[in-house]
Homo-oligomer: A and B are copies of this chain.
Amino acid sequence: MSKNEKQFVEEITPMEVDFPQWYTDVILKTDLVDYAPVKGFMVVKPYGYAIWENIQQFLDKRFKETGHKNCYFPLLIPESLLTKEAEHIEGFAPEVAWVTHGGNKKLEERLCIRPTSETIICNMYAKWLKSYRDLPYLYNQWCSVVRWEKSTRPFLRTCEFLWQEGHTLHETSEEAQDETIQMLNIYQELCEELLAMPVISGQKSESEKFAGGERTYTIEALMHDGKALQSGTSHFLGQHFTKAFDITFADRNSKLAHPYHTSWGVTTRLIGGIIMTHGDNRGLILPPRVAPTQVVIIPIAAKKGNVMEKVDELFESLKAKGIRVEVDDRDNYSTGWKLNEWEMKGVPVRIEIGPKDIENNQATIFRRDLLEKNAMSLENIEEGIVDLLENIHDTMLEKAREHREKHTYQVDNMDEFKRAITETPGFVKAMWCGDAECEAKVKEDTGATIRCMPFEQENLGDKCFCCGKEAKHMVYIAKAY
């Protein structure tokens, strides 16, 4: 290890020593994010924001392909609207920010900054909807929301975060249910196809569902440290809000009916998920499809012979292939420093080209995920790089799957459960009776929560691991972010 390399590595706390500190070191040193002057808020820096833009692009395309349109609802919600749905206000009131003054005048009614937009959107839908012919309403918005969290961590839990929130209305319960699942499936695709982050999809328990909803579906990922990350949720809201907000339409028999309602969202939290699924002690490892820079070219002995000529040629040909490529031709940093910096920033592929490489009509290729260095012929190198990026994606997804399988434990009773959850952090699979009491006991005793009742139910036995009564669901349990 060179002196430069040492310096870099020493700047990042090893994850085995202190995982939270590793996370903080990585996000700050790689310029993804910074702390804002107000506690709990974050600044998403260009490198972090570019990841978010790639997530947005993937999702926005899929939303539009499935018939959704974007719109924009106001930031501020009158208190009287927020409080219309009883369970909803109970869930959100403790964590909203209140605007009391506008333009130096005290407001007649307090306004909250949206923590989520069901209430204001339902207020508008009630005004707009007339007939079954207008349905479905398939709308989404990209925005930020504010929730006054006490304990925050950039990306994972912040007082303000960026997200998208879809809000749809349907004629029938079945259509709304189908929409709820369709959008959850799109989130799963996003995680697996773009972020190389495997997820388990399933339904939340009653106590973990959305405040004011009927059923919440979730995708859950497992992080390096064995903690789960809820990575996206899709809610079947039934008629809870449409009744509370008196949204009606003339149905096919010309009778007034309440539509069925869904909402679904993912947030900048996903960026935290990428970091904690793939990163290592050298820093980030970004999945190629979401990486802002997929390939960086480092000229070696740039002033010699035709090095820069070859570098520029390669840059142009990779760009023409649609690859997000950069050349690092800074002359005020040593090559060693640059190599380490790009490793830390998690760029999937590094290409080094120097006089010797050119002599041999090759380039030196470094793949960040496996830390492997190989020569690649300059002949048809573009195809080689495209294939390599795909291979890196598949390898990273597979590696994350293996990690999850290796850290998933099956238990039959509370003793086994407590041992597993404390000694071997990860997912615990168990059979559950479905009672909130058992769920509460698990949480109280261990801090772990039922993450979901997965769609892929396995029969692990017929008794609840907690109370021994008849089991109804197979569940995944974990400590979670």
Residues of A within 8 A of B (CB): 34, 36-38, 41-46, 48-50, 52-53, 69-78, 81, 93-104, 111, 113, 120, 123-124, 127-128, 133, 139, 143-144, 146, 148, 150, 159-160, 162, 332
- Asked if A99 and B78 make an inter-chain contact with CB atoms under 8 angstroms apart, the answer reads no
Instruction: List residues of chain B with CB within 8 A of the CB of A124.
Output: 34, 36, 43
Contacting residue for A69 out of B46, B100, B102, B159, CB 8 A: B46
Is A98's CB under 8 angstroms from B97's CB?
Answer: no
Given contact pairs A98-B100, A133-B332, A36 touches B139 in the complex (Cβ within 8 A): no
- The answer on a CB contact under 8 Å between A49 and B71 is yes
Q: How far, in Å, is A150 (CB) from chain B's closest CB?
A: 8
Q: Indicate if the CB atoms of A38 and B100 lie closer than 8 Å.
A: no
Q: Are B43 and A73 in contact, with the CB atoms below 8 A?
A: yes
User: Is B104 within 8 A of A43, CB to CB?
Assistant: no
Can you give 16 contacting A-B residue pairs, CB < 8 Å?
A34-B128, A36-B120, A37-B123, A38-B111, A43-B124, A49-B70, A72-B162, A74-B160, A93-B104, A94-B103, A97-B99, A97-B102, A98-B100, A98-B101, A99-B100, A103-B148
Please tell me if the beta carbons of B53 and A70 are within 8 angstroms of each other in the complex.
Answer: yes
Is the Cβ of A76 less than 8 Å from the Cβ of B160? yes
Q: How far is it, in angstroms, between the C-alpha of A369 and the C-alpha of B48 when the chains are bound?
A: 44
- Give the most central of A49, A94, A95, A133: most B CB within 10 Å: A49
Contact of A43 among B53, B72, B97 (CB under 8 A): B72
Q: 8 other contacts beyond A42-B74, A46-B70, A98-B102, with CB at 8 A cut-off?
A: A37-B123, A38-B77, A45-B71, A46-B71, A49-B71, A75-B113, A76-B97, A143-B144
How many chain copies does the complex carry? 2
Contacts of A148 in B (CB 8 A): 102-103
Contact B96 A98 (CB under 8 A): no
B103 adjacent to A95 (CB under 8 Å):
yes
**Among all A-B residue pairs, the 7 with the closest Cβ atoms:** A103-B148, A46-B69, A44-B72, A102-B148, A98-B101, A41-B74, A36-B74
B75 pairs with A50, CB closer than 8 A: no
Q: Is B98 in contact with A71, judged by CB distance below 8 angstroms?
A: no
Using A99-B99, A103-B94 as known contacts, say yes or no to A78 and B38 having CB atoms under 8 A apart: yes
Closest chain-B Cβ to A65's Cβ sits at a distance in Å of: 13
In the assembled complex, how far is the CB of residue A101 from the closest CB belonging to chain B, in whole angstroms? 4
Instruction: Give, as a whole number of angstroms, the nearest-CB distance from A29 to chain B.
Output: 13
CB–CB A81/B37 < 8 A: yes
Residue of B nearest to A34 (CB): B124
The listed residue (B41, B70, B101, B127) touching A76 by CB distance below 8 A is B41
